[in-house]
Structure 1
């Protein structure tokens, strides 16, 4: 589940960059606002999926409250999900190597 969450986080990060680095500059610098609504809607949907997926992927996996906050805050900043990915990858490896409870 953590691998799927990392993919969702990557998509959410890409939509954030598309909104901030493509759609908004086209609107404010070039007077072309047509991309903001669809890109914004896609990003909004991706954000909601990110938050829901985060709950399912992290719940009961031994994440500390600080790690939950870190992963939540990562979705609010451009490049945040990309910067948080190595941490998630490390946690994924830890979970994969941990002995499974029966």
Structure 2
């Protein structure tokens, strides 16, 4: 998975998606129900870094593989939705 640019995009997308779910379903409830905001700070920073890496990798894939603007925007929108990067991964896996 990690040997090509699309493979890197898939790998970063999976890790970014996991960080999003951890932030949404674990860190946020801990912040509001257990009064532990430190988890949001830690996982929020990690998720932010992974999101930026995902977007940079998406731009690299766009230019190297000649993806259409619609496809790139679709991949970007998938990164904004919970479970979206996992759906994107499944579609990219079918192509490879």
Scaled by the length of structure 2, what TM-score is found? 0.88
Match among 7, 13, 18 for residue 14 of structure 1: 18
| Structure with the greater alpha carbon radius of gyration | 1
Other structure's SS at 2:77 match: helix
Match of 1:2 among 3, 6, 10: 6
Dislocated runs of 4+, deviation >4 Å: none
Match of 2:53 among 43, 49, 52: 49
Q: Give the corresponding residue for 1:97.
A: none
Alignment of 1:2-81 (within 5 A): 2-81=6-85
Q: How far is the alpha carbon of 1:88 from its aligned partner? A: 1.5
1:23-68, Cα deviation, whole Å (9 max, x unpaired): 0010112222121101100000000000001111232413222211
**What is the aligned length?**
92
Q: Partners in 2 of 1:48 and 1:54 — Cα distance? A: 10
| Deviation at residue 90 of structure 1 after TM alignment | 2.7
- Counterpart mapping for 1:84-95 below 5 A: 84-91=88-95, 93=96
Root mean square deviation, CA, Å: 1.2
What is the distance in 2 between the residues matched to 1:77 and 1:55? Answer: 19
